[in-house]
Amino acid sequence: MAILRSLIVFVFLLPLLAACGGRSYSGKLQCAPYARKLTGVDLRGSAYSWWSQSQGKYSHTKQPQKGAILVFRKTSKLPDGHVSVVKKIKDSRTIIVDHANWDAQRINHNASVVDVSSRNDWSLVRVWWPPINKLGTRKYPTYGFIIPGKT
């Protein structure tokens, strides 16, 4: 009888618990629409294409600024590139970002990104990897930062 009762409770509670995910987003979560929502930039398409699309429309810089968009280049691991929004500058080589879909289908807040470029120009970075709860070992090439707001 106890097993039957446990089974009934499990069957009824499982759907209720599944509904508690807290996400209101109904489509596939992607970094570009999330960054657009946070910054208000008028850019579309693959994240890596934002760098060229933004030429003449938004300012670019090689140094981070709060609210700027870090644009990752297209690679074999990032076929569409990636974008992150700078939330805070921790020091000259570390920033804190918010971004989506770095850890599949999740929004990551307060993720560290570290500049590992030889010239301290943010052209190569490492990114916090939530599944292991530490900085990832892969190095990712970037274009730089887009500054929201018209040029």
Pick the closest to residue 83 from 34, 10, 132 (CA basis). 34
The whole-number pLDDT of residue 13 equals 38
Cross-strand partners of 69? 85, 146
Cα 136 from Cα 151, distance rounded (Å): 34
Structure confidence by residue, pLDDT tens digits, 30-45: 999 999 999 999 999 9
pTM of the complete model: 0.81
Contacts of 100 (CB under 8 A, 6+ apart): 29, 30, 31, 33, 34, 35, 106, 107, 108
129 pLDDT higher than 70: yes
Which domains are delineated in the chain? 30-150 (3.90.1720.10)
Read off the pLDDT band of 28 (50, 70, 90). confident
Mean pLDDT (the chain) is: 87
Report the run of H or E that residue 45 belongs to, with start and end. Answer: none
Q: Are strands 58-61 and 69-72 parallel, antiparallel or unpaired?
A: unpaired
Which one has a higher pLDDT value, 69 or 12? 69
What confidence tens digit (pLDDT) does each residue in 78-90 have?
999 999 999 999 9
